[in-house]
């Protein structure tokens, strides 16, 4: 018997599960603002565009959205270079649009998390402009890291740190009279000077900014470079090159310093002083799950992205190892684990898992999505993964905007390929993205991947996500809680949760198992005979027991 499983369950949210922290089980959808939906035809997504598409997100079944930075910015790094933390960039709308968006989301039962970028400002931020104007090395410069250069005439950078985007992490300033001056630190682009978090004014300003957005009603913050604010005293040399390769592999004098935790504790107190469970989510690259868990201790942040899961290779053994490690580490501090496969900084997983074979990549991506949504904890979905979008790998150089691409040897420099605007409908670009064009060209083949094209097709990736999220709400064993590994053949992962079993065949050939329950969702068609089920290659199945 062949059984095709694509149920159309749409139950209401389980209210009891929200009782002890909505975020512990939440599915949080990342909206990359400039690429989600464009309301005014300039080819760039905006806040009104998102508001118009909120019913789509509510129907998809997510609990919350995370909006990437929409603040006033010269856009040297896609808005992660903020010039005014309390203003909306005209590209994306006005403050009233942010207000409307949050209200409308709440009306539809969706929470809203916004990005906060505390490690650095834009070089056009009033503070940095004042620092440049202030040659006296006075108070204005103390908000950043200014240092004299090394070498006889200060012509060498103050230390050997490299920017994550490639090249030195220091840029020399020019004094008003035209002579070369001090250097300033920027772990990212030169347009992103690092703030000095030893400075009391910096700390106070960010608490005020957090209050500004909390007062507007946001449900929390995704904290950009949450591991970077504190630098080792004396800014010591690292003593080697290719430092970007060490990120997430070891503690560096500029990343994952113990001092950052005090900042997160202060922010937690602030979040807790507001009603309604406002949360903080760390974007932190730490060398081990244990060090990552420090960011989510009970008096620190609520969640941290699980990049170990994101970077894990396809395969039963590596995946099981990462799952075990992640669960053990967060359990040790009582925090929920998070699961994430893609975001705006990495190659989309539908491409990553395929190693050049798009069909294989998509098949594995669908299976990985069911795995992730069945694991204990909270899940982050990156816009477009629910459509099975691949990375766009052939963008012409002249349309690229990622600063990492232009600075060469640092971070992979290919981040534009996962930021191509979403296809919503129609047979021609921009596929309903907006009334104008789209800031990055969309592949023609995306006509078949649009929301419109996939809606109602039970075999589509979109309907798979819809069904999975609906079941996740309906089945009490999913979301936060425990899981138990079950015996399974080599290459197959099987685990149970109350009333539920998940099986993932990671092999390139089929696997035969005893039927563990009633199948409720599967990424491919299953074959049953007697008491066994044949699970095709690279397939995940959910079972009710």
Q: At 460, is the secondary structure helix, strand, or coil?
A: coil
Smaller CB separation from ligand GLC, 406 or 528: 406
Joined tokens for residue 101: 């968006």
Rounded least distance, CB 187 to ligand GLC, Å? 8
Q: Which stretches within 430-481 are classed as H helix?
A: 451-454, 461-474
By beta-carbon proximity to ligand GLC, the closer residue of 189 and 494 is 189
Q: Is the Cβ of residue 381 or residue 468 nearer to ligand GLC in the bound state?
A: 381
**Binders of ligand GLC in range 270-289 (CB under 6 A):** 283
- Residue closer to ligand GLC by CB (options 344, 363) is 344
Residues with catalytic roles: 224, 283
Nearer to ligand GLC, 73 or 461 (CB): 73
Contact (Cβ atoms closer than 8 angstroms) between residue 140 and residue 127: yes
SS3 at position 280: strand
How many residues bind ligand GLC (CB under 6 A)? The answer is: 9
Rg (alpha carbons) of the chain, rounded to whole number:
24
The residue from 27, 223, 225, 511 that contacts ligand GLC (CB under 6 A) is 225
* H-type alpha helices, 5-158: 15-18, 47-52, 54-60, 95-107, 126-133, 139-142
Q: Judged by CB under 6 A, does residue 162 bind ligand GLC?
A: no
Binders in 429-468 for ligand GLC, by CB under 6 A: none
Residue of 46, 77, 162, 191 that binds ligand GLC (CB under 6 A): 77
Contact 74, 124 (CB under 8 A): yes
Q: Which of helix, strand or coil describes residue 423?
A: coil
Shortest Å distance, C-beta 415 to ligand GLC: 7
The SS3 assignment for 222 reads strand
Distance of CA 81 to the CA centre of its chain: 17
Q: Pick between residue 144 and residue 424 the one whose CB is nearest to ligand GLC.
A: 144
Is residue 305 a contact point for ligand GLC (CB under 6 A)? Answer: no
> Shortest distance, CB of residue 407 to ligand GLC, whole angstroms?
11
Distance of closest approach, residue 214 Cβ to ligand GLC, in angstroms:
21
Considering the complex, state which of residue 72 and residue 453 has its C-beta at the smaller distance from ligand GLC: 72
Cβ neighbors of 206 (< 8 A, separation 6 or more) are: 116, 118
Q: Give me the least distance between CB of 117 and ligand GLC, in Å please.
A: 6
CB 497 within 8 A of CB 486: no
Binding ligand GLC (rule: CB under 6 A), the pick from 66, 80, 197, 309 is 80
Handedness of CA 437, 440, 446, 450 (dihedral sign): negative
**282 vs 372, beta carbon nearer ligand GLC:** 282
Contact characters 117-136, ligand GLC, x per CB under 6 A: x-------------------
What values do phi and psi take at 114, rounded to 5? Answer: -115, 160
Residue nearest to ligand GLC (CB): 80
Contact call for residue 188 and ligand GLC (CB under 6 A): yes
Binder of ligand GLC out of 97, 219, 300, 345 (CB under 6 A): 345
Cβ-Cβ contacts under 8 Å for 96 (sequence gap 6 or more): none
Strand pairing class (279-282; 518-522): unpaired
- Shortest CB 164 distance to ligand GLC, Å: 7
Q: Rounded to an integer, what distance in angstroms lies between the CA atom of residue 367 and that of residue 38?
A: 31
Q: Regarding beta strands 27-31 and 64-67, do their DSSP bridges make them parallel or antiparallel, or are they unpaired?
A: parallel
Instruction: Kindly state whether residue 224 participates in binding ligand GLC, applying the rule CB under 6 A.
Output: yes
Angle between helices 260-272 and 200-216 (to 10 degrees): 30
What length does the chain have?
545
CB of 25 to ligand GLC, least distance (A): 24
- Least distance to ligand GLC, CB of residue 189, Å: 8
Query: What is the number of H-type helices and E-type strands within the chain?
Result: 16, 22
Interacting residue ranges for ligand GLC, rule: CB under 6 A: 77, 80, 117, 188, 224-225, 283, 344-345
């Amino acid at each position: 018997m062949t059984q095709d499983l694509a149920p159309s369950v749409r139950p209401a949210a389980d209210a009891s599960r929200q009782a002890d922290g909505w975020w512990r089980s939440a599915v949080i959808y990342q909206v990359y603002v400039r690429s989600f939906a464009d309301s005014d035809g300039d080819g760039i997504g905006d806040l009104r565009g998102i508001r118009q598409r909120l019913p789509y997100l509510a129907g998809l079944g997510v609990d919350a959205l995370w909006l990437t930075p929409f603040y006033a910015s010269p856009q040297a790094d896609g808005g992660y270079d903020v010039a005014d933390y309390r203003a909306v960039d005209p590209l994306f709308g006005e403050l009233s649009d942010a207000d409307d968006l949050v209200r409308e989301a709440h009306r539809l039962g969706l929470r809203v998390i916004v990005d906060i970028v505390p490690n650095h400002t834009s070089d056009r931020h009033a503070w940095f402009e004042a620092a440049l104007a202030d040659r006296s090395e006075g108070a204005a410069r103390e908000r950043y890291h200014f240092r004299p250069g090394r070498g006889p005439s200060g012509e060498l950078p103050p230390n050997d740190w490299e920017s994550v985007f490639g090249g030195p992490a220091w840029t020399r300033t020019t004094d008003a009279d035209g002579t070369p001056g001090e250097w300033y630190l920027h772990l990212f682009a030169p347009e992103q000077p690092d703030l000095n978090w030893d400075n009391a004014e910096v700390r106070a300003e960010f608490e005020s900014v957090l209050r500004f957005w909390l007062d507007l009603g946001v449900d929390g913050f995704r904290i950009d470079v949450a591991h970077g604010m504190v630098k080792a005293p004396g800014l010591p040399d690292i003593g080697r090159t290719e430092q970007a390769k060490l990120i997430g592999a070891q503690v560096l004098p500029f990343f994952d310093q113990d001092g950052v935790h005090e900042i997160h504790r202060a922010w937690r107190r602030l979040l807790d002083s507001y009603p309604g469970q406002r949360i903080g989510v760390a974007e932190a690259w730490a060398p081990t799950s244990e060090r990552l868990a420090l960011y989510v201790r009970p008096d620190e942040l609520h969640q941290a992205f699980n990049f170990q899961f994101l970077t894990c290779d396809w395969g039963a053994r590596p995946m099981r190892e990462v799952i075990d490690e992640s669960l053990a580490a967060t359990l040790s501090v009582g925090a929920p684990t998070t699961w994430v496969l893609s975001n705006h900084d990495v190659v989309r997983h539908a491409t990553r898992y395929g190693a050049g074979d798009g069909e294989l990549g998509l098949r594995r991506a669908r299976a990985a999505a069911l795995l992730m949504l069945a694991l204990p904890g909270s899940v982050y979905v990156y816009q477009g993964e629910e459509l099975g979008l691949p990375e766009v790998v052939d963008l012409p150089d002249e349309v690229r905007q990622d600063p990492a691409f232009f600075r060469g040897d640092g971070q992979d420099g290919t981040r534009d390929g996962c930021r191509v605007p979403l296809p919503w409908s129609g047979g021609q670009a921009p596929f309903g993205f907006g009334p104008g064009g789209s800031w990055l060209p969309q592949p023609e083949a995306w006509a078949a991947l649009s929301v419109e094209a996939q809606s109602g097709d039970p075999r589509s990736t979109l309907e798979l996500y819809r069904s999975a999220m609906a079941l996740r709400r309906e089945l009490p064993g999913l979301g936060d809680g425990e899981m138990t590994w079950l015996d399974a053949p080599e290459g197959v992962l099987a685990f149970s949760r109350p009333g539920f079993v998940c099986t993932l065949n990671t092999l390139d050939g089929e696997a035969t198992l005893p039927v563990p329950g009633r199948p409720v969702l599967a990424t491919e068609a299953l074959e049953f005979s007697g008491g066994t089920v044949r699970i095709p290659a690279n397939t995940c199945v959910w079972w009710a027991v």
